[in-house]
Amino acid sequence: MFRLSNFLRGCPSMFEQLDEVEDRYRELEARLADPELTESPDEYQEVAQEHAHLKEIVEAYSRYQEVEEEIEENKLLREDDDPDIQAMAERELETLEREHALLEERLRELIIPDDPMDDKDILLEIRAGTGGEEAALFAADLFRMYSRYAEDHGWDIDIVDSNTTGKGGFKEIIAIVEGDDVYSRLKHEAGVHRVQRVPDTESGGRIHTSAVTVAVLPEAEDVEVKIDPSDLDIESFRSSGPGGQHANVTDSAIRIEHLPTGTVVTCQDEKSQHQNKAKAMRVLKTRLLEAKREEQRQSREADRREQVGSGDRSERIRTYNFPQNRITDHRIDHTTHQFEAILDGDVDRLIEPLQTHFEAQKLKDIESGELTPW
């Protein structure tokens, strides 16, 4: 496991970063004491929120330093000639070292800037890539995997649109996933998922390689994306998907085109035209927000590492090898053989090592000065 203390000892500039946090905290305290700041409520709230966040870091770091000093003092007392003092120091050391470990973990959590998108719901898009029917079948496998994962976490998953194949696969399936920390848990799933297995139709037993693309988009809020109704071309049509007789005789499906960008969204999963329109608008706003965020990323991030960190969907991130019962995440060179459990929804076996890796990367960026802890 990544240990903050080991990292801090090897990176003196990390302490410099924490000292800068303390300096920034004192600066914010002074601003909050300035009566003129209260004349601007929005600015006051912004300063107060940053002050509250840094207060946790400053207090934890201060206690971390105190505990380290107390540990050194008790190590000296442990060498005292008096057996009673030795025993007292030993007991104190045990308590202090436990607190030290907890503070390490707490500092690690606090020093990493929060992703403002982490608590958002998501738009999950799974599309079959190269591999034809086999890719479509694996897209269905992945959707089942994420559906079970969502169920285990108490999330709601609501299909917006899908395009099925005759053998039960998906050329494309789009769903909204709602719940606590959805984007935080699933954001690193975005990318190209490769599958290697012998298709049922392969008489010679040859292994085929196919690919499926997964997109994980944080859902846009109204304050983030403003859409002029005059920029929309909205059409209704008869649903061609499942839904029974009602779906086949009413124009309940919705197609929306955002004229300035050419973005097109369809929704036909609900029997109600109103419900389909509401869902389609959620999808449209989310895609427009993602396009805006991608444009901002490209303007400020040119190197490959940042592209990988942003979940660039052109990257092959993972391989599922059925014959060898093996799943490999290529970003962190992590391999597991818990194949059936993962495909049955236990995706945390893959997600948690990724989160540890990216948190460690953020700490390195803070140490190098590329990222600030506020």
3-state SS assignment for residue 127: strand
When the candidates are 1.20.58, 1.10.3210, 3.30.70, 1.10.3470, the CATH number that belongs to 4-111 is 1.20.58
Better pLDDT: 365 or 49? 49
pLDDT of residue 324: 95
Under the banding of pLDDT at 50, 70 and 90, the label for residue 306 is very low
Closest CA to 367 of 2, 1, 66: 2
Rounded Cα distance, 123 and 115, in Å: 17
pLDDT of residue 240: 66
Q: Does domain 122-223+311-368 have CATH number 3.30.70.1660?
A: yes
Q: Does domain 229-297 have CATH number 3.30.160.20?
A: yes
Pairing of the two strands 191-197 and 316-321:
parallel
**Cβ–Cβ < 8 Å for 193, 359:** no
Rounded Cα distance, 190 and 313, in Å: 6
**Cβ–Cβ < 8 Å for 158, 175:** yes
User: In the numeric block, which tokens belong to residue 23?
Assistant: 């300096």
Rounded Cα distance, 127 and 174, in Å: 9
pLDDT digit string, tens, across residues 311-369: 333 468 999 999 999 999 999 999 999 999 999 999 999 999 999 898 888 877 776 66
Alpha-helix residue ranges (DSSP H) falling in 36-167: 41-77, 83-111, 133-152
Domain 4-111 and domain 122-223+311-368, same fold? Reply is no
Q: Where are the domains of the chain?
A: 4-111, 122-223+311-368, 229-297
pLDDT digit string, tens, across residues 107-140: 877 877 778 888 899 999 999 998 899 999 999 9
Tell me how far apart the terminal alpha carbons of the chain are, to the nearest angstrom: 25
User: In the numeric block, which tokens belong to residue 326?
Assistant: 């093996």
